[in-house]
Chains A and B, each alone.
Chain A
C-alpha cells in the first residue's frame, strides 16, 4: 500500500504546527498578560519542535535516508485561516480548532496500533494535550468575556471551522489511510468537542 496519503496527513499536521508556532510568537508575544505571553512563546517552541519531528518522519516515509534536508518553509498544506492569524482572539480561535482536530486525528492514529506511528508521534501526542488545555482554557475565557469579545471569538471560530472540518472528513473517508487511522466517528468527535465549548456559557474547571 502506498504511503502517499500518510505522508500528506503527516505534512498537513506538520505545516499547521509550523505556522501556529510562528503565529504563537508573532501574535502571542503581545498576549493580554505575562502568563499567557510566556506560555505562548514556550508553546511555540513546542509546536516548531513537533513540526520538525513530523517533517523528518515525512522525509523518512519518502525514502530519504541519512541527513534530512533543511526545513525552511511549510509545504503549503496549512489551513488558510491559520495563516491569516493577526490578533489574539483569532489566534485562540484557530489554535483551539486546529488543536482539537489534530488531537482527534492523532488519537485515531495511535489507536491504529501501528508501531511506526506510535514511535514517531507518541511523545508529541502527549505534549500536544497541554496545548489543547491552554487553548480550551482561553477559548472558554473569551467566550465568557464581556463587550464584543465573545461575538468576535465566535465569528473567528466559525470562520476557522469549515476548512478544518473538511480536512477531518477527508481523513475519515480516505481508504488509503485505513491502516494508519481508526476512521471511526472522527467528525462527530470533533464537532462534539467544539460544540461543548461553543455552547458553554460558564467557565469550567475540569481537572
Chain B
C-alpha cells in the first residue's frame, strides 16, 4: 500500500477564549482523513475548537542557537 502520509499537529481550545493548545499529532494521507483521525483520537474533551496543521506548513522563524547561524539572525525573513 502506498504510504503518502504526512504528519499533522493537532491544536485545540477547551472553552471559548482559552489558549490554543498543542495536544498531539496524527499521521494521515489527506487533510480530510487527518481531521477525522484527530477528532476520533483526541476525544477526551468536548473541545470548543480543534485544528489540524500539516507539519510541513510550519515555517520556522527562530532556529536553535549556533555559531554563525545566519538564518537565525535574519529573524524569519526569507533569504533570497
Contact = CB atoms under 8 A, between A and B. Distances in A.
Contacts of A141: 2, 29-30, 33
A137 B1 contact: no
B33 to A, nearest CB: 4
B41 A38 contact: yes
A201 to B, nearest CB: 14
A203 B27 CA distance: 16
Interface in B15-66: 26-33, 35-37, 39-41, 43
A43 B40 contact: yes
Interface residues of A, number: 25
Contact of B2 (A35, A43, A144): A144
Interface of B: 1-2, 4, 26-33, 35-37, 39-41, 43
Given A38-B37, A133-B32, A136-B32, 18 more contacts: A35-B26, A35-B27, A36-B37, A39-B37, A39-B40, A39-B41, A42-B40, A130-B36, A130-B39, A133-B35, A137-B30, A137-B33, A141-B29, A141-B30, A149-B1, A203-B4, A203-B29, A207-B32
